[in-house]
Amino acid sequence: MGKKITVAISIALLTFFLIVPFLSYSSYKRAIKDNYFNHLVTTRDLLKLQIWNYFNERYGDIDVLSRDPVIAKGFTRLSGAFHAYGLENQQFQKIKSIYQPLMEYYVSAYGYANIFFVDKDGSVIYSALKEDFSGTDLFVGGFKEHRIANMFKIALEDVGFEDYFWNDKINDFTAYFGAPVFEAESLLGVIVIEIPFAHLDTILTQRAGLGQTGEMYLVGDDGFMRSNSRFSVTPTILQKEVNTEATREAFDGYVGTKIIDDYRGVSVLSAYTPLNLNFINWALLVEIDEAEAFAPVHIVENKLTIIASIICAIVGGYIYLTYRAHKKEEEQETDILNPEEQEEQSVS
């Protein structure tokens, strides 16, 4: 009876010391996961707001410039001089010199790569910094397939955006915003600002609080990155294709969090969202490697494994020794009874 009670107590203790730590571990793992996802969501939402503000400010810039009477007056004068004399003529250069300081101020103060005036007939009549297509016709010339030609056609109707592309002149990716310019009710042409990717890259490389593997990146609706990966020494913008569960859901309009395999095939905690800008259909993702996020959990797992092994060894040893002790007692009792049994047998 005593042996059964001892074994029962031992099993109960073993169960207690094994189950309680593992229940605590499960709660700890959930807490770690929830805390990381909360941090990723907060970072994602703040970053989304920063990107919104950046692009909406550029949208506002071009909209304000296109409505400025000084710009409209400059358009009229530059267009007249361009069509009368050409781009290199002294008369044209004299009129250009009136507006050049103002345009250079905008380029410098707002960090633009360039500013262009495109006449309604497609002629690039002005650029703050001379480009190869300055003075050409964007409808029929050699640059009719260039990004600025597409921007010009879009902006004839309304304020628009033309996605990033590589610009050899400034050794960076650039994008365009454009807007129609009117005088009274008459369309004069289109004003275009060129913005460098460096602005957006600065926003996306602020990785404080994201550890050694956390990163924030953008993916365009063509499936290619609109940012640079922290895991690549070469630029990945417009080079690295990303097709993950998170990007697919973001492009379907969902905002969420999941553990997925990222574009490297590495398991990550991912917080994703569409940008929801009228002129941009991109996805924003903030991620961190699962291995780094759950590193504290793995430490606890190892400790629990060691503790469980020790407890099992101690309890198992205790049960074994208790069993041996009871076995020995039974053998001794049997040895005591044996002489009496032998005497009874001899009498009979």
Q: What's the CA dihedral at 185, 191, 197, 202 to 10 degrees?
A: -70
For residue 333, the model assigns a pLDDT of 63
Q: Do 77 and 186 sit in the same domain of this protein?
A: yes
Q: Do 256 and 185 sit in the same domain of this protein?
A: no
Query: Which range, 25-34, 257-266, 309-318, has the best average confidence (pLDDT)?
Result: 257-266
Q: Answer yes or no: is 88 within a domain.
A: yes
CATH number, domain of 44, equals 3.30.450.20
Q: Do 135 and 191 sit in the same domain of this protein?
A: yes
For residue 21, the model assigns a pLDDT of 56
Q: Do 171 and 284 sit in the same domain of this protein?
A: no
| Mean pLDDT computed over 71-95 | 94
Q: Do 38 and 86 sit in the same domain of this protein?
A: no
| Mean pLDDT computed over 181-209 | 92
Q: Do 272 and 222 sit in the same domain of this protein?
A: yes
Q: Do 91 and 32 sit in the same domain of this protein?
A: no
Q: Do 103 and 125 sit in the same domain of this protein?
A: yes
From the list 207, 233, 204, the residue with the least C-alpha distance to 218 is 204
Q: Do 38 and 128 sit in the same domain of this protein?
A: no
298 pLDDT higher than 60: no
The pLDDT tens digits for 201-210 are 999 988 878 8
Q: Do 81 and 185 sit in the same domain of this protein?
A: yes
| Mean pLDDT computed over 80-100 | 93
Q: What percent of the chain has pLDDT over 90?
A: 66
- Contact indicator for 319, 327 with CB cutoff of 8 Å: no
For residue 170, the model assigns a pLDDT of 87
The predicted model scores a pTM of: 0.78
Output the average pLDDT for the chain.
86
Q: Do 72 and 172 sit in the same domain of this protein?
A: yes
Give the structural domain span for 243: 28-54+213-294
Final residue before a domain boundary, out of 146, 175, 199: 199
299 pLDDT higher than 60: no
Final residue before a domain boundary, out of 172, 199, 226: 199
Beta strand pairing status for 282-289 and 172-183? unpaired
313 pLDDT higher than 90: no
| Mean pLDDT computed over 59-73 | 95
Q: Do 47 and 81 sit in the same domain of this protein?
A: no
Q: Which of 89-103, 173-187, 291-305 has the lowest mean pLDDT?
A: 291-305
Q: Which position has the higher pLDDT, 18 or 272? A: 272
| Mean pLDDT computed over 311-336 | 66
From the list 236, 225, 214, 239, the residue with the least C-alpha distance to 295 is 214
Burial tier of 298 (Cβ tally within 10 Å: 0-12, 13-18, 19+): exposed
Final residue before a domain boundary, out of 277, 294, 311: 294
| Mean pLDDT computed over 16-44 | 73
Number of structural domains in the chain = 2
Q: Answer yes or no: is 307 within a domain.
A: no
Q: Answer yes or no: is 206 within a domain.
A: no
229 pLDDT higher than 70: yes
Q: Answer yes or no: is 304 within a domain.
A: no
| Mean pLDDT computed over 154-171 | 93
For residue 15, the model assigns a pLDDT of 60
